[in-house]
Amino acid sequence: MQRVDGATNNETSTDDTVIQGKSKRKKNLGKPADSDPSSTTNGEIKPAPPKEGESPSLNNFRETLKEVLEEITSLEVNTMIVDKITMSSFDAKEFYLQLIEDVMYKTERGLEEVKESLLNRSTELKKKGALLPQQTRAPMLPKEAQIIDAYRAELTSYNHDLEAYKDAESVFQKRKEAERLFYDRYDPLAISSLDPESKVHYYQEKEIHERFASEQACYEQLSKQILKLNIPKNEATGEVMIDGKALRSLRKLWEFEQSVLNGDLIYAQTKFSLDGDLTNRYLNDLFIPSQSKIDPKLVGLVFDLHRQGVENAQKQWSGLIDTCIGLIKNLMQFRQS
């Protein structure tokens, strides 16, 4: 496939492969099932309509409370030791759009999808280019000029996307090649025999490649989670429409991404739910001093901090549940008989 490089010139360059552009993947707008009282207008999911005699405000509050109750059936407490605390703040829409772009341009699967999309765009551009009006007289008719201007705008957008893809593909392949060369160069069984300076260099380089692998796994997992959210778009404006439930889910995904990209480690984790399940997990570094980055004298402090965090979280969780139950009791009086 060759690059289309002229609005009125149907000849193509034979040395420039077309492989760039934004993927035009269609998204399911998440139409509700027939049994769901919700409705969808312009891609926006509407809550169930209020019952007869019930105010819209009360209905909206009830729906919001329902969403909250779905989210507080379990609690997770993580204790992490980080090198730095990031100053970046969470913006749901910005994170969502950036995540879509990162999944497309920083993963092998995403780059393949972009490439396929661009090949399709290139084919369409070549077809359109062959049908362009020929300038056999001057001036051209207004309609012919409009067709050529529209084609040139589409071609400019395509070529811009081409360069962006080439840059992303180049960076990705360089990192993959560096990773391959690194593991080919070192024999894991011979690391202990390296001199001190070579060991330092080895572990520094190893950390870089392990982070690359972690990023790939991170974006692979995030891409699956983001599809489950099924965030709709406004058909008129194309703007993503993020409701309260999606907002909470995106915040969790953002926190997960930040922890992976910053290389944060969870040393202790506690999960418990209303049905009585309780799970405690601890990083083995806490029990194997030779592998730990933490001073053995500080291991006890990690356990103490985690225990205090669990106790505080439990109190807040219980308080939130009590508040929700109180709200439900107060709302019962407004229930229609």
pLDDT at site 95? 93
Does residue 136 belong to any structural domain of this protein? Answer: no
Beta bridge partners of 17: 2
Judge whether 256 lies within some domain. yes
Number of structural domains found in the chain: 1
> Does residue 76 lie within any of the structural domains?
yes
CA nearest neighbour of 257 among 71, 93, 103, 75:
103
Q: Which domain holds residue 152?
A: 2-131+142-334
Read off the pTM. 0.63
Lowest mean pLDDT of 179-193, 220-234, 288-302, name the range: 288-302
Q: What is the pLDDT at residue 70?
A: 66
Q: Is 313's pLDDT higher than 60?
A: yes
3-state helix, strand, coil in the chain (%, to 5): 60, 10, 30
Tell me the per-residue pLDDT of 264-292, one tens digit each, with 9 for 90 and over.
888 899 988 877 788 999 888 888 877 77
71 occurs within a structural domain:
yes
> From the CB of residue 290, how many other CB atoms can be counted at a distance below 10 Å?
6
Is residue 75 assigned to a domain? yes
Q: Supply 137's token pair.
A: 């007289």
In a domain, 67, yes or no: yes
- 137, part of any domain: no
Q: What is the pLDDT of residues 315-324, one digit of tens each?
A: 988 888 888 7
In a domain, 301, yes or no: yes
DSSP state of 189: G
pLDDT in tens, 48-79: 555 555 556 666 666 666 766 666 778 888 88
